[in-house]
Amino acid sequence: MKTIKGPGIFLAQFIGDEAPYNNLENIAQWVQSLGFKGVQIPTNDPSFFNLQQAAESKTYADEVKGKLQDIGLEITELSTHLQGQLIAVHPAYDQLFDGFAPAAVRNNPQARTAWATEQLKFAAKASANLGLKAHATFSGALLWHMVYPWPQRPAGLVETGFQELAKRWLPILDEFDRHGVDLCYEIHPGEDLHDGISYERFLEACQMHERACLLYDPSHLLLQGMDYLSYIDHYHERIKMFHVKDAEFNPTGKQGVYGGYSSWLERAGRFRSLGDGQVDFKGIFSKLAGYDFAGWAVLEWECAIKNSVDGAKEGAPFIDQHIIRVTEKAFDDFAATGTDEQFNRQILGL
């Protein structure tokens, strides 16, 4: 068994205009002072972390890595959640998602997808330059507006959607394979990959591609009413990343999973700071340890109530207390009688 690495923290929700949140070095010093040992870096803002430069310049990658090491931090993974979203966008969402792209490719879906594809390929090379083995992203969605089967879906619609999604992702997956990096999709409502079945559809359309892996985030599974513990049993071989994120689901006589278009604060299902929600993290850390998960436990903070600074301060010790330092020997070794094949056969009456 392996001991999970951590605690790490995803920086996306903490970046801001004021110190210590205004650049990578300052925010790194802040999270290190809270007890974090690793940072997961978003790549959508070149002034914070230049993805293209990290891909094209090993020197730049080494400089970033070295500065963080001097502070006492490792890079856990890079993230292209926003760019990955743009690999596949249904026209109904064009205007909403254009904000994720640079101005030059807005109002031009083909150019936007080409830009996003290039970004993901940069991420493969940048990850390799940084010595990383996994990368986080979203799948995008062509079918999300059809998630509920009304109106009745035309025959073959879902299959066509996943075939097109796979067509867009296969060249990217091949690029990650060339660089020895697993591409981990965060299973998330709003994406075509939003649960186990949809992930399996995608995996089949991608010919079971070795690099089409998973970022495990139990919060999104809990809010769908899924068994997020047995999910690990099904997919542990593909789980290469872990977001430690809490949530709660409190359905009422007025709303449930869909939330009635309510704000996050008023929804039956909402994200919470670690320890304030309903996720069974003891069970999760036990299962991941039992399955030899070799990655990082990374805080992704989102909460409808608590402020982000307190969420971060509480997050590092919470994760540290849940990481299981795995045993190097069996608890009953003291009673072992050694190995003797003849003795074993004698006990069996052979």
Whether the full predicted model's pTM is greater than 0.75, yes or no, is yes
Stated as kind and residue range, the H or E segment containing 40 is strand 38-42
pLDDT band at 327 (very low <50, low <70, confident <90, very high): confident
The tokens for 155 are: 């025959």
pLDDT of residue 33: 98
The number of folded domains in the chain is 1
**Using CA atoms, how far apart are residues 319 and 308, in angstroms rounded to an integer?**
16
- Considering only CA atoms, which of 242, 235, 179 is closest in space to residue 211? 179
Q: Domain holding 118: CATH number?
A: 3.20.20.150
pLDDT at 330 over 90: no
pLDDT over threshold 60, residue 259? yes
User: pLDDT digits over 270-314, tens only?
Assistant: 999 999 999 999 999 999 999 999 999 999 999 999 999 999 999
Backbone angles phi, psi at 84, to 5 degrees: -60, -35
Asked whether the beta carbons of 137 and 81 are under 8 A apart, the reply is yes
State the pLDDT at residue 333: 62
State residue 246's pLDDT score: 98
Average pLDDT over residues 250-263: 98
Q: How do residues 143-179 score in pLDDT, each as one tens digit?
A: 999 999 999 999 999 999 999 999 999 999 999 999 9
Name the pLDDT band for 28 (thresholds 50, 70, 90): very high
**What pLDDT does residue 340 have?**
83
Range of the domain at 128: 5-347
Query: Which pLDDT belongs to residue 131?
Result: 98
